[in-house]
Amino acid sequence: MRPNAENHYQRCATTPDNDDPLLVEWPSTQRSALEAELSRSESLIVVRYTGCEMEVLRGCEVGGSYRWTEVSAKHDELEIRSAREVWAKIPLAAAKLVAAVEQYGALHLDMQLIGQYTGASVAPTRDLLQGRRCEEATHVVGSLMVGAFELTSSTGASFEAGAEVQGAGAGVGASRHDGYYSSDGNPESCRSGRSYSSYAPSEDCQSLLQIELLEIPASEPEAQGTCPDDMALIEVAGAQAFCLDRYEVTVRDYADCAATHTCSEAPATVDWPGIDDEDHERFDELCNQDRSSRRHHPVNCLTWDQAASYCRAQDKRLPTSAEWRLAARGGEQNRTFPWGEDSPSPKHVNACGKECRKAFDQLGSLFERNDGFVGTAPVGSYADGIGRWGLADMGGNVWEWSADEGYDREILIFGGSALTESREELESERASQVNAATRRFDLGMRCASDSTPLESSRKRGRDR
């Protein structure tokens, strides 16, 4: 290994963590990637950061955006006199600047800050990351400081503002070139007054100078209970752990129960108080149980008693309203929608789109595009809509029965459905209620159960 390379890795290993690295002299390819990601409207910037190197992971995304905030102009100067100070103060460009310090004795950094792009104050959990290379992610960019800078050797040089000259004799715009000089933007222009607006920095004061990095928390600790493979363990501090089906109960699942005469046959028609012949004509054909092509669709057109009976036959139960809401919002993550904060779209959810408005003569729709299904969709069809713990279709497809019975057999139902026209119905906390005897094509279920303590599970394994 070359001596310089060896020194690089030694310094990298001994430099204290720096979660607010300066971007001065960062390689242009990486700076361009950072600027490109900053321009995205619905994603925070995800990076792999080791303390000496940082790479923008352009294939990895997490919801969020950045907002420009102007601040009163702030002037900052740094004197860098040794290689150790380079590694400590400008680690991302240290491999380049150490040689300059050794050649010129010291470097002087003059920065003018005028504002920042603010995105997040708390790092997202790792399960919110989506896309390629997310397993390499270490941090997200919380904020980015903006302005202009000049980096010069402290002695033996005089330069005109705005030129970029790196190394002796490299001279566009320089009155002398016997030192080190580099700049981005115009610090003097930034100091002179309001050369920026409340909407964005001006062209000569928009250099990215420094960023705040938020470390992505380690994976969640080992679960303290167990669930069957087709169920997710919902475990949140301050709440009782429980298991919840990852998918809505399907036509095939229910048919298997009915075949053993443990469950009653699923009805082939809808029914509710005040239903008329026109509603039967419109919705009966959307009951799924008699159609072999819909065996992977959610079972529907069941009463509350039938749904509860099915869950009991599986040694499960219907989830309480508190359990359903906790699972939908991702526990302490408090997601607005089960998948996060993104607005509902045909990629997230089976709701009322173009196809619904046409089929049912509805005046409104949630989105203008077609989500692919007039009625229900096969469970798990919307990958972008999968929530925490791998829970699918917690929004849309069919409303889901809960265990909570209110006055006059009114039952709370959750999640919205293929007929949902408003985003509010898809929110994690939102509920509706229907009579327990109601049978609708857009009403189905998933089951819950108590989790098995981990030690009990291990003991059963040893006893076998």
pLDDT of residue 8: 43
Q: What is the pLDDT of residues 354-406, one digit of tens each?
A: 888 778 776 678 888 888 898 899 999 998 999 999 999 999 999 999 999 87
User: Do residues 97 and 132 both lie within one domain?
Assistant: yes
Domain boundary among 170, 197, 215: 215
User: Do residues 258 and 115 both lie within one domain?
Assistant: no
pLDDT of residue 240: 87
464 belongs to a structural domain? no
108, amino acid identity: H
Cα angle vertex 439, ends 434, 445, to 5°?
80
Q: Chain-centre distance of CA 283, in angstroms?
A: 36
The total domain count for the chain is: 2
User: Do residues 259 and 392 both lie within one domain?
Assistant: yes
Is the pLDDT higher at 378 or at 73?
Answer: 378
Mean pLDDT of the 416-435 span: 94
Task: Measure the CA–CA gap between 336 and 338, rounded to whole angstroms.
Answer: 7
Mean pLDDT of the 128-140 span: 86
pLDDT of residue 314: 96
Residue 308 structural domain: 225-453
Which strands sit side by side in the sheet containing 231-234, from one edge to the other?
231-234, 242-245, 448-450
The pTM of the full predicted model, rounded to 2 decimals, is 0.55
pLDDT of residue 296: 94
462, amino acid identity: R
Mean pLDDT of the 254-270 span: 94
Mean pLDDT of the 90-97 span: 82
Mean pLDDT of the 126-138 span: 85
187 belongs to a structural domain? yes
The rounded percent of the chain whose pLDDT value lies above 70 is: 84
**Polymer length of the chain:** 464
CA torsion angle 365 369 375 380 (round to 10)? -120
User: Do residues 204 and 163 both lie within one domain?
Assistant: yes
96 belongs to a structural domain? yes
Angle between helices 94-104 and 3-14 (to 10 degrees): 110
Q: What is the pLDDT of residues 199-221, one digit of tens each?
A: 567 777 888 888 889 998 876 55
Strands (E), 107-227: 107-118, 130-131, 139-153, 181-184, 207-215, 225-226
pLDDT of residue 395: 96
Mean pLDDT of the 233-259 span: 92
pLDDT of residue 172: 33
pLDDT of residue 390: 93
Please answer whether residues 23 and 97 qualify as being in contact, where contact means their C-beta atoms are separated by less than 8 angstroms: no
Task: Measure the CA–CA gap between 164 and 150, rounded to whole angstroms.
Answer: 9
Residue 454 confidence class, pLDDT cut points 50, 70, 90: low
- The residues, any chain, with a CB within 8 Å of residue 404's CB and separated by 6 or more, are 320, 321, 411, 412
Residue 88 confidence class, pLDDT cut points 50, 70, 90: confident
User: Do residues 304 and 440 both lie within one domain?
Assistant: yes
Q: Report CA torsion sign: 279, 283, 287, 291.
A: positive
Residue 327 pLDDT exceeds 50: yes
User: Do residues 199 and 233 both lie within one domain?
Assistant: no
User: Do residues 172 and 259 both lie within one domain?
Assistant: no
pLDDT of residue 175: 37
Q: How far is CA 193 from CA 187, 205, 427, 433, in A?
A: 11, 11, 46, 60
User: Do residues 7 and 88 both lie within one domain?
Assistant: yes
pLDDT of residue 220: 55
211 belongs to a structural domain? yes
Residue 307 confidence class, pLDDT cut points 50, 70, 90: very high
pLDDT of residue 154: 65
Domain boundary among 194, 215, 236: 215
463 belongs to a structural domain? no
pLDDT of residue 230: 92
User: Do residues 344 and 422 both lie within one domain?
Assistant: yes
Domain boundary among 215, 249, 271: 215
Average pLDDT, the chain: 82
User: Do residues 148 and 238 both lie within one domain?
Assistant: no
462 belongs to a structural domain? no
Task: Measure the CA–CA gap between 189 and 193, rounded to whole angstroms.
Answer: 7
- The residues, any chain, with a CB within 8 Å of residue 422's CB and separated by 6 or more, are 366
User: Do residues 248 and 138 both lie within one domain?
Assistant: no
pLDDT of residue 363: 60
The backbone torsions φ and ψ at residue 145, rounded to the nearest 5 degrees and listed phi first, read -85, 140
Instruction: Say which CATH number the domain at 388 has.
Output: 3.90.1580.10
